[in-house]
Structure 1
């Protein structure tokens, strides 16, 4: 699996410890998995810290699912 997607999956499971990790798929949204706005912010923050990246808030507008979130993060990974 792709390391960015795996990092997102790991952090979703940190924030939602009762969630089955197999449900964290590129075509699913964080909201669909049960994340509220605070949970989503925590997943994003934990993932950016783990990847050692910083993404401007304005770039998150088109993100609709975990796959597009991973694509956004991949563009910032060096």
Structure 2
């Protein structure tokens, strides 16, 4: 568990992003940011699918799974 000071500091910066209000980008270029976001999405998609599979829920069909990334 984090100390109370850490929780308060984290909440104070929540509206300003991860740069702490400095204006510095978290990635060197927009292309690298996009790549990070796509791989991050894939990571969480995999976590969700594994949780469904392990708990014996049916997996979504291909269209439901990939349609949002294709803009459908």
Asked if TM exceeds 0.5, the reply is no
Name which one, 1 or 2, has greater alpha-carbon Rg: 2
* Length-normalised TM-score, structure 2: 0.29
Instruction: Kindly indicate whether structure 1 or structure 2 has the higher relative contact order, using CA contacts under 8 Å at least 6 residues apart.
Output: 1
Q: Which structure carries more helix by proportion? A: 2
